[in-house]
Each structure stands twice: as C-alpha cells, then as structure tokens.
Amino acid sequence: MGRNNKASRTGIYHYIRNLAKALAKEGQVKVIPVCLSYAHLSLATQECLEHGLDISLLTQQQSRLAAILKYPISLSTSLATKLGNRKTNKFFITIYAAKALLAFNAKLTSAVQSRFRERTIDNIGKVYNFHAGPCVLHETYRDHGFTHARIKSLPDTPRCITIYDTIPIKFPDYFSPEASLEFESFINKLTVCDQIIAISDCTKNDLLDAIRLKPKRPVVVTPLAVDTRFKPVRPSEWSPQAVQLLQQFDLLKSPFILSVATLEPRKNIPNLLKAFSVAKPSLPYGTKLVLVGTKGWEQTDLDKLAESLDIESSIVFTGYLEDESLPSLLSAASVFCYPSLYEGFGLPVLEAMSCGCPVVTSNTSSLGKFFSTSSISVDPTNIQEIATAIITILNNPGLADELRASGFKQSSTLTWSNLAKITISAYKQAISPLACWTA
C-alpha cells in the first residue's frame, strides 16, 4: 500500500520494510517475504529487489497470479465488448456498461483476491522447503489474514504476529461499528498465535486488557526505530523540496512550530490550532504553525477553524511531503508539537528527536510513558497546557537545548538492529514448545 501510494507510507509501512532489511542483515534468519494482496504483488517484489531480499516466493506468486487472472480478464473483456456493441442509445449503453463492469469487477477483485490468498497460503510449504529447519510465519499486518489462515502444507508451523495498537476497541468512535467489531473478533482469535509482538509497553498492556485469554508466552515488546536519514541536517544540506517550502511560506526568517500527522480526529489538530491561538501573542513575532500531512476521515474543517480563531495567516497546510524532505524540515523547526490523543508508539516524535527538534507531546498512551523524560508532556485535552509548553520552549533557548540533547540521546538508543535481535529472540520463543493459552 505504502509502496503504491507514497502518501500512505505510515509507521506500519516503515516497520515492515526496515524490519525485513534488519533481519536479513543480522544473518541469523532467512527472510522470505510473502504478499497476500495480489494488487500489491509486483510493487512488493520491486521493494524487496531494491533491498536485496529473497524474492523467490514472490516470483512463484506472480506465476500463480497470471494463471488465476487468465479467465477473469478474458471474461471481463468479453462483457465490455458485448455491452458496447448493443444497438441502443449510446449514452445509456455507456453508462450501463460502466456500471455493470464496476459491479462485475468488484466481485471479480474479491474473488481473485480470495483465490490468490488461498493458493499462496496452501502452497507455501510446497514452494519453499521450510521443513529443512525451524520456521516461523510472521504476520506484520493483521488485514493479510495470514495468522488465522488454515495452512495445509505447514499445519504445525509456529505463528507470530505484530500488534501496533488497540485503537479500534479503545476508541470505537474513530471507526465504523463494523471495523470495531472486526478488530474485536480478530483480538479474540489470537489464540492461534504462538508469539505476539507489541511495539510498546502501552500496546502490550492494552492488548492484555482486551484479550480474553493469557497468551502462551509473554508478549515481546520491540520499540520502534527511525530510518538513518532522520538526523540533524545543516541548512546547506536541506532538501530542495524543503527549501522551496520554507521560502514559499516565509519560514526562514521567523521560528515555526511543526506537526506531522494525518489530519484526522485522533491526532487532535483542532486543539493544537486553539493552543496556538492562545500562545500566539506570547510568541516571537512572525511565528507560524506548519501542519504536514494528508487529510484523514471526518476531520473538522481546519481552514474554517483557523479563520474563526483569526490565525489563518499564521497557519501553513503543506499537504503530503516526501519522506526525504522531513529531516530537513524537522531540523529547521523550533518546536515539534504532537498532541495526539492516543498512539501505539508515536514514531513521528522519535523522528523529531532524532533530528534534534525539541518536542511537546501528550502525556497519554505510549507518548507519555515512553517520551516523558525527553519532551514536555501535556494533557492533550487541555488547550492552555499545550499553549504554555509551546511558549516555554520558544522563549527559553536553554530549555530548548536541553530537550534537543535528551531527545537525541533517547532516539540514538533505538536502532533497527536491536529491534531485529529482539524479534529473532521472539521467533526462538515461538519455536520452543509450551503449554496452551490459559484463562
């Protein structure tokens, strides 16, 4: 998904990509990527090729996909031809044909996806001789359905899954009722897992609170790390896109506050705007708030809110920004503000710290538990508290330097190499025989 659409490259995308690279580099395990979404198969193959990962199984999948698609594609083409050749009103037929094809292709996509996934799962053991040594099936994204699938060729293979958060059941208002129920059902079926990995202690504890049975083995926590490109960047080395943005919005002459997040309710952007409005009279002249991120679902009209607060001239909405430009922008910012209501980990905070940017973040979820000693932690529902933290950093250079140093120190202890080592130890635990889940 992230490979197909750069704007969709969330923390999960970076976790999967960097974990695979780090595991392969460690050399203790053989990493064999599998893609259970036929729409992303070629993109996954290209990604693995770029990073020197084993693509033998992906290549086999592409051969199977061609065989699966051969009949449906010819049927779809035939349907379009027949509908287009009817001797009736051309406009009506065009609309009818389009609607019929859309309905047909929706069913076709679902059928092909199901068949593709079924064939892949049932033939994993036949394609690759996993039985030559210990094997673990690691699902890195729950929607793939890997862990719950019935794998005929490897019925006794230990299964591992990474859990990023429990937001759908902790905050059901952020999701449709169907999505929350689906996630709850998923959680209750985790008994098929031999080992669970969580990306933070917060996610681990929330999961154990939600789950109805005790896991076979202790949940392993693997705090995330950042890409090596996230480091302090000197102005002479800023990316062209970042320089263009800084010049376009006149951000080179005055301080600016930066926030990087999908613009959706959980990220708490309306409260950030209100806090900036409160803080603005006490900030250095010309200070602006820069919001980087694509629009999410059911987000309040932020433009109208900024206008009602009379701060629209001091707010910059950049939209999507290339990953390569973020380190430059983080290095240029005076403060990084991330008052999210809930995070499974909070990777943007770690990225900011890695670039030497002072951070204001929430005292809730993993943000408060993991980053409280290297940032100013605030109640994300308290607008005055957020405003005071911003004012304090921008008007106290000594404190800003202290936060830069402590944040950089904390971020430097988290590496993908360490995460890979912990993950390998989780694989070893999954392989070791233990009793079943208990009540």
Would you give per-residue pLDDT tens digits along the chain (439 residues)?
344 455 556 678 888 888 888 988 888 887 877 776 656 677 777 777 777 777 777 776 666 555 555 444 444 444 444 444 444 443 333 443 444 444 444 544 555 556 655 666 566 655 555 545 677 888 887 654 555 555 555 667 788 889 999 988 888 888 878 888 888 888 877 877 889 999 999 999 999 988 876 777 889 999 999 988 999 999 999 999 999 999 999 999 899 999 999 888 889 999 999 999 999 999 999 999 999 988 765 556 898 999 999 999 999 999 888 888 999 999 999 999 999 999 999 999 999 999 999 999 999 999 999 999 999 999 999 999 999 999 999 999 999 999 999 999 999 999 999 999 999 999 988 888 765 556 5
Answer yes or no: do 210 and 258 share one domain: no
Task: Supply the range of the domain harboring residue 113.
Answer: 33-127
Answer yes or no: do 122 and 151 share one domain: no
| Domain edge (last residue) among 94, 127, 160 | 127
- Here the CATH number for the domain that contains residue 288 is 3.40.50.2000
How far is Cα 291 from Cα 313, in angstroms, rounded to an integer?
Answer: 13
Answer yes or no: do 323 and 299 share one domain: yes
Domain count for the chain, please give it.
Answer: 3
Answer yes or no: do 172 and 273 share one domain: no
How far is Cα 309 from Cα 385, in angstroms, rounded to an integer?
Answer: 18
Answer yes or no: do 403 and 436 share one domain: no
Answer yes or no: do 208 and 253 share one domain: no
How far is Cα 64 from Cα 17, in angstroms, rounded to an integer?
Answer: 24
Answer yes or no: do 290 and 401 share one domain: yes
* Cα four-point dihedral sign 392, 396, 400, 402: negative
Q: Are 344 and 167 in contact (CB under 8 A)?
A: yes
416-417-421-423 Cα dihedral, nearest 10 degrees = 20
Counting beta carbons within 10 angstroms of the beta carbon of residue 427, is it exposed (0 to 12), middle (13 to 18) or buried (19 or more)?
A: buried
6 in any annotated domain: no
3 in any annotated domain: no
Q: How far apart are the first and last CA of the chain?
A: 37
21 in any annotated domain: no
Answer yes or no: do 278 and 367 share one domain: yes
How far is Cα 126 from Cα 154, in angstroms, rounded to an integer?
Answer: 9
How far is Cα 114 from Cα 189, in angstroms, rounded to an integer?
Answer: 20
CB neighbours of 1 closer than 8 A, spacing ≥ 6? Answer: 8, 13, 37, 40
7 in any annotated domain: no
How far is Cα 355 from Cα 352, in angstroms, rounded to an integer?
Answer: 5
Answer yes or no: do 368 and 264 share one domain: yes
Answer yes or no: do 72 and 197 share one domain: no
Q: How many CB atoms lie within 10 A of CB 44?
A: 22
85-89 long-range Cβ contacts below 8 angstroms, 24+ apart: none
399 in any annotated domain: yes
Answer yes or no: do 257 and 117 share one domain: no
| Domain edge (last residue) among 81, 96, 127 | 127
| Domain edge (last residue) among 104, 127, 150 | 127
Answer yes or no: do 335 and 241 share one domain: yes
Cα–Cα separations (whole angstroms), residue 408 to 310, 335, 350: 35, 14, 9
43 in any annotated domain: yes
72 in any annotated domain: yes
301 in any annotated domain: yes
How far is Cα 249 from Cα 270, in angstroms, rounded to an integer?
Answer: 21
